[in-house]
Copies of this chain bind each other. A is one copy, B any other.
Amino acid sequence: MKATIYDVAKEAGVSIATVSNAINGKGKISKKRREEIFKIMERLQYQPSVIASALTGKKTFTLGLLIPDISNPFFAEIARAIEDEAHQSGYSVIICSTDNKDERVERYIALLESKSVDGIIIGTGIDNMDILSQLQSRSVPLAMIAREASSLAVDTVVADDFVGGVLAAEHLVSLGHKRLAVLSENLKVSSSRERIRGFRQGLADVGVSFDDNSIVICEYKVEEGKRGALELLQRGGERPTAIFCCNDLLAIGAIQAAKEAGVRVPEDLSIVGFDDTILATVTDPPLTTVAQPMEHMGKLVFKLILGHLQNKDSIRQRIVLRPELTIRQSTSHVAGEA
């Protein structure tokens, strides 16, 4: 069987209390004992049981990460950053892909709670914010990434989605586009709403009109984006000359839709994405997109929630990172312009 603290204590001829102290650097222990104990631990291949210590000490050194889908490169990259940072502090992270379904969110949260995770990082869209406020009232440390829960006092790291939207609008306008459309995922996702609001504002600022009918909503998958874009392209009336997509996956769908509809990108249709995942660099044409500093965001949320874990009454922070426009080849001057 695996060695326990008792085995070590017996072997060293001391009490388990002393071994525990040695391990945790508590109390005073003579150097000699200390070294002796460590040597024995090594010989016995002793590894303290996090489970047992969690039952007393309280921490499990495990975090839950709620995201829509780990197979979405945006979240995979964020997850990687969080994981790296967490691992350095001895934390593990449990991934929970929710597909933005409240029902899954609730199941996962219950599971995470029963496993006594030390905190939960949330990057998933949630309809019913009560779920979160309940969590908070049960004093489970929370942090949000790439999503906002403005009704809650909770540590948050987001890119400035509004500014991102503005950036996209400005870019498109500067290329002479006047007939714009938007492809967005479910509006229950706060970041999507902000992006659209920013996009609108960016257009309004320079007097370009924008019609609400030009917004198409769909799920966050490529397939859906394609369907949505197709709808936009096949509508009666004048076709938009540019589409702002609320994430790279949808932008890819739009590119595919354009291909299928025989519309050239960027000559006949400019497309702007959001996120700047690895996908944006490999598409045909490479995607002009609003870049979020994913790695940085991931590392930051972990630091935030860690601060929270170490110091119960550390002050809540909301960190907003500025996105940047990465111009590639999916956007160009509107046809007929200089």
Contacts and interface: CB of A to CB of B under 8 A. Distances in A.
A5 to B, nearest CB: 13
Contacts of A2: 138
Contacts of A97: 80, 83-84
Interface string A64-90: 000001110100110110011001001
Contacts of A55: 49, 51-52, 55
B79 A47 contact: no
A95 B116 contact: no
Given A51-B116, A71-B278, A92-B115, 14 more contacts: A47-B113, A49-B55, A49-B116, A50-B116, A51-B55, A51-B115, A70-B80, A73-B73, A80-B97, A83-B97, A92-B111, A252-B282, A279-B279, A284-B284
A162 to B, nearest CB: 27
A8 to B, nearest CB: 14
Nearest to A110: B47
Interface in A264-315: 278-279, 281-286
Interface size range of chain A in the complex: 35 or more
A60 interface: yes
A95 B114 contact: no
A115 B73 contact: no
A115 B87 CA distance: 13
A226 to B, nearest CB: 11
Nearest to A287: B282
A284 B162 CA distance: 31
Interface string A99-138: 0000000011011111110000000000000000000001
Interface string A181-212: 00000000000000000000000000000000
A18 interface: no
A54 interface: yes
Given A282-B282, A283-B283, A284-B284, A83 B95 contact: yes
A296 to B, nearest CB: 14
Contact of A70 (B76, B94, B281): B76
Q: In this complex, which of A61, A79, A92, A138 has the most chain B Cβ atoms within 10 angstroms of its Cβ?
A: A92
Nearest to A54: B51
